[in-house]
């Protein structure tokens, strides 16, 4: 039985291609790092005990690719094996989106893993988040005959 799993992240903004989803490639992608920042108000009481008023958890998503092709297609053939976004696609998305946008992260949900249930849905959404670009950088790694290879890094901060 073939089991297809989509790339780990899709991004979407009405400012890019009339709101079409952009599927980020897993080719050359480093591990997705998710950092959590707990927003709370801590205060020590007169009796020495600490009290905390929890507000929310905010996430920061760090993504990077090594040797990501600059183009998706060359002479009608896919250069990116999973058909995801090329370095040029990521640059175009970054240059057209100035406000918040949506990301969908696809991964096994921890609650499913703890319950012992097997996740069979390839579109299992770990979470959908509204984010802003915190940083974005591209480095030309190697020049090729038909396309270049880029190293791309971006950090997204939850709104």
Contacts of 122 (CB under 8 A, 6+ apart): 3, 4, 5, 6
Residue 10 token pair? 């899709």
Cβ neighbour number for residue 151 with a 10 Å cutoff: 18
- DSSP labels, 81-141: TT----HHHHHHHHHH--S-EEEEEE---HHHHHHTPPP--TT-EEEEEEEEEEEEEEEEE
Of the candidates 158, 129, 151, the residue with the CA atom closest to the CA atom of residue 64? 151
* Domain range list for the chain: 9-39+56-158
Per-residue model confidence as pLDDT tens for the chain (159 residues): 333 566 788 999 999 988 888 999 999 999 999 999 999 999 999 998 999 998 999 999 999 999 999 998 888 888 898 889 999 999 999 999 999 999 998 876 555 555 555 544 555 567 899 999 999 999 999 998 899 999 999 999 999
Helix count (H) and strand count (E) of the chain?
A: 2, 9
0.85 surpassed by pTM: no
């Amino acid at each position: 039985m073939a089991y297809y799993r989509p790339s780990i992240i899709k991004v979407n903004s009405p400012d890019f291609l009339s709101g079409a989803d952009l599927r980020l490639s897993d080719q050359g992608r480093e591990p997705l790092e998710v950092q959590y920042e707990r927003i709370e108000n801590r205060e020590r009481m007169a009796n020495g005990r600490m009290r905390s008023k929890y507000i929310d958890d905010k996430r920061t998503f760090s993504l990077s690719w090594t040797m990501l092709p600059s183009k998706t297609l060359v002479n009608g053939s896919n250069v990116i094996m999973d058909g995801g976004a090329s370095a040029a696609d990521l640059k175009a998305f970054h240059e057209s989106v100035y406000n918040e946008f949506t990301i969908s992260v696809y991964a096994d949900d921890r609650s499913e893993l703890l319950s012992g249930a097997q996740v069979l849905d390839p579109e299992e959404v770990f979470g959908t988040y509204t984010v802003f670009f915190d940083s974005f950088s591209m480095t030309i790694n190697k020049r090729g005959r038909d396309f270049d290879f880029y190293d791309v890094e971006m950090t997204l901060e939850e709104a």
